[in-house]
Amino acid sequence: MSKKVIRPYGDTENDGKIQLSFSLPTPHGPLGDEAAKALAIKMGVFDPQVVSSSALSDEFSFYIVYGTTTHLVDLDSLTVETLEHESMSKDEIETFIETHFSEPLVFVGASTGTDAHTVGIDAIMNMKGYAGHYGLERYKGIKAYNLGGSVDNEVLLEKALELNADVILISQTVTQKDVHVQNLTKFIELLEAEQLRDKFIVIIGGARINQGLAKELGYDAGFGPRKYAFDVASFAVQSLYKKERKIKR
């Protein structure tokens, strides 16, 4: 089989073995196991086996199902939206700012809407950072303002204007029923209504954020899991530099 056409495997290459996990609104027991297997079959998994099941409550249960799929994926048929920028280290970013900008760059960030989770925005902005990568507050040439969680879109924009921000960062952790998409859409609509979309570089991040979604919603960039302050700052400073050069022409 071509390496461009692939299938999952567990024991041997291309054996199609997959594992699924899900919950069902039914009590834990033999009937629930059969329901889990029936669902797997409807999803195109044959010879499904419930390898683990447990009760979540009196009326809900959780299942792990192991089975085989015949489906293939043609890698050549896929399109992936990626960011076009050079990843730089903290020191390189600081040098880039010193070389290309006469004043410190202002970054304003928040978890917006009803999202009170600040772990993501703190990891990017707070001085201590995350996983050994310092946050933006520690970067020379950057003034970082972290507004925290549950910040209304209107408040974030008002603060960005007050601080004359160059970059707006939005973190979204709560994603049930795509509430993050709704909230992010409202922020872009707010910018456009105020004719301010071109004033800022606007970047979003979160567990279910990617570049494809960011571009679809009208943002400059989107960063998902395992991204750090230097990833965000690399894109932001290069985008600001390109923006300034374009304005000067």
| Residue 127 sits in the same domain as residue 226 | yes
**What is the percent of the chain where pLDDT is above 70?**
97
Backbone angles phi, psi at 21, to 5 degrees: -135, 140
Query: What DSSP string runs through 72-128?
Result: -EEGGG-------S----HHHHHHHHHHH-SS-EEEEEEEBTT----HHHHHHHSTT
Indicate whether 125 pLDDT > 80.
yes
pLDDT of residue 248: 55
Beta pairing, strands 221-223 & 167-171: unpaired
Distance, CA of 197 to CA of 219 (rounded, Å): 9
| Residue 56 sits in the same domain as residue 162 | no
| Residue 96 sits in the same domain as residue 165 | yes
pLDDT of residue 20: 96
Half-sphere exposure for 70 (CA within 13 Å, toward CB): 4
| Residue 111 sits in the same domain as residue 220 | yes
Q: What is the pLDDT of residues 214-243, one digit of tens each?
A: 999 999 999 999 999 999 999 999 999 998
Q: Residue 83 domain-assigned?
A: no
Active site amino acids? 128
Q: Residue 81 domain-assigned?
A: no
Indicate whether 3 pLDDT > 80.
no
pLDDT of residue 56: 97
Length of the chain counted residue by residue: 249
Q: Decide: helix, strand or coil at residue 70.
A: coil
pLDDT of residue 4: 87
CATH number, domain at 37? 3.30.30.60
Assessment of whether the complete model's pTM goes beyond 0.95: no
Domain coverage including residue 23:
5-76
When pLDDT is averaged across residues 143-153 and rounded to a whole number, the result is: 97
Q: Residue 82 domain-assigned?
A: no
Indicate whether 1 pLDDT > 60.
no
Q: What is the pLDDT of residues 91-121, one digit of tens each?
A: 999 999 999 999 999 999 999 998 989 999 9
| Residue 70 sits in the same domain as residue 94 | no
Q: Residue 186 domain-assigned?
A: yes
Among 249, 246, 191, residue whose Cα is nearest residue 218: 191
Distance, CA of 228 to CA of 231 (rounded, Å): 5
| Residue 175 sits in the same domain as residue 69 | no
pLDDT of residue 60: 98
| Residue 237 sits in the same domain as residue 128 | yes
| Residue 191 sits in the same domain as residue 235 | yes
| Residue 20 sits in the same domain as residue 132 | no
| Residue 35 sits in the same domain as residue 67 | yes
Q: Tally the domains of the chain.
A: 2
pLDDT of residue 211: 93
